[in-house]
Structure 1
Amino acid sequence: MDNTRFKRFFGALLTILGIIVILFACVAFLSDNEPVLGLFVTKWESIVPFLVGTVFLLSGISLVSNS
């Protein structure tokens, strides 16, 4: 596979994964001490997936725009 095509594919994959993780963090933040997808996540613990999703999203967008 061409290097540019690989960067675009990997960037799109990271972007989609980042959006999914950010949506999970938002749903976990809004749930009131109930399990989300089988996981018990408190409001303060939902900050971690939000930050990880933001890093994935920004790095994916950067890869797509630079290639």
Structure 2
Amino acid sequence: MPKLKTKSGAKKRFKITGTGKVLYAQAGKRHGMIKRTNKQIRNLRGTSVMFKSDGDNIIKYFLPNG
């Protein structure tokens, strides 16, 4: 059976931590900041850890080689 290729879009969007968790960038900060509260904008900074079940699917189907 041939090797599974890593999805190139997933390479750019997700990062796997040393313990196997998946980090992702927060959505919702591309445009329309004027209508959001300062608290919303502040809380959307940085990265978040994905829920385990979702992260496992990302690793299995999109990032098989880590």
Decide: shared fold, TM above 0.5: no
TM-score (norm. length: structure 2) = 0.31
> Which structure shows the higher strand fraction?
2
Higher helix share: 1
Higher relative contact order (CA 8 A, sep 6+): 1
